[in-house]
Chains A and B, each alone.
Chain A
Amino acid sequence: AQSVTQLGSHVSVSEGALVLLRCNYSSSVPPYLFWYVQYPNQGLQLLLKYTTGATLVKGINGFEAEFKKSETSFHLTKPSAHMSDAAEYFCAVSSFSGGYNKLIFGAGTRLAVHP
């Protein structure tokens, strides 16, 4: 069965600093991996995804993530944090079960950005 672990429920960085949000997964098959962002009172928005091919994936708002099979990781990074990046971030892995494709989510990491 697939699962996702996000290390650190809260991460705080200074504006302009590197953002690193950690995600490790468990999957018995080649995974499809996703990062979503949730702003207050809004739905989840897809930041980026990895399916096949290039292991470094670029997403919206300057975020990127690298799929590392040997480390079973899919960490999310951004070189320079902006105040508007403050939000909840969810890592997810796809799972095919019971005839349906589903998403299995991590617990989420709340990113705070301070001046």
Chain B
Amino acid sequence: GAVVSQHPSRVICKSGTSVKIECRSLDFQATTMFWYRQFPKQSLMLMATSNEGSKATYEQGVEKDKFLINHASLTLSTLTVTSAHPEDSSFYICSAREGQVVETQYFGPGTRLLVL
């Protein structure tokens, strides 16, 4: 089946630094990728949707200058948390969709970010 990887799986950084998370579709071309954030005991909250070669569409309340998303190829999207602060600590999950059918989203294993 389709596989999506994320790297790193876990990252600890100091407040004020930037962190980049990669999301890769390993065996298919992802026309659309999604970035979610998950707080403990809460839902996955969609942060942004990105299509290859175009700007990401951010959900209401998500700071686009804070969470930079790049979808430069059909197999790679990156999320950069800029000037990270402790409140940015969370579990970040990406998913990739091959076509336009909503249910064909394949999820990555997630990245645990801890900002000290």
Binding site for B on A (CB under 8 A): 4, 9, 32, 34, 36, 41-46, 49, 51, 90, 94, 98-108
Contact = CB atoms under 8 A, between A and B. Distances in A.
Contacts of B34: 102-103
Contacts of B41: 9, 107-108
Given A41-B109, A43-B110, A44-B93, A32 B103 contact: yes
B64 to A, nearest CB: 14
Contact of B43 (A51, A94, A108): A108
A99 B54 CA distance: 14
A43 to B, nearest CB: 4
B92 interface: no
Interface residues of B, number: 23
A5 B46 CA distance: 16
A59 to B, nearest CB: 12
Given A100-B49, A107-B41, A44 B102 contact: no
B42 to A, nearest CB: 6
B57 A107 contact: no
Contacts, number: 55
Contacts of B4: 43
B36 to A, nearest CB: 8
B107 A43 contact: yes
Contact of A100 (B32, B45, B95, B103): B32
A104 B49 CA distance: 13
A51 B101 CA distance: 11
A100 B103 CA distance: 13
A101 B110 contact: no
B105 A103 contact: yes
Contacts of B44: 90, 105
5 contacts: A44-B107, A100-B49, A101-B100, A103-B34, A103-B46
A43 B103 contact: no
Contacts of B42: 107
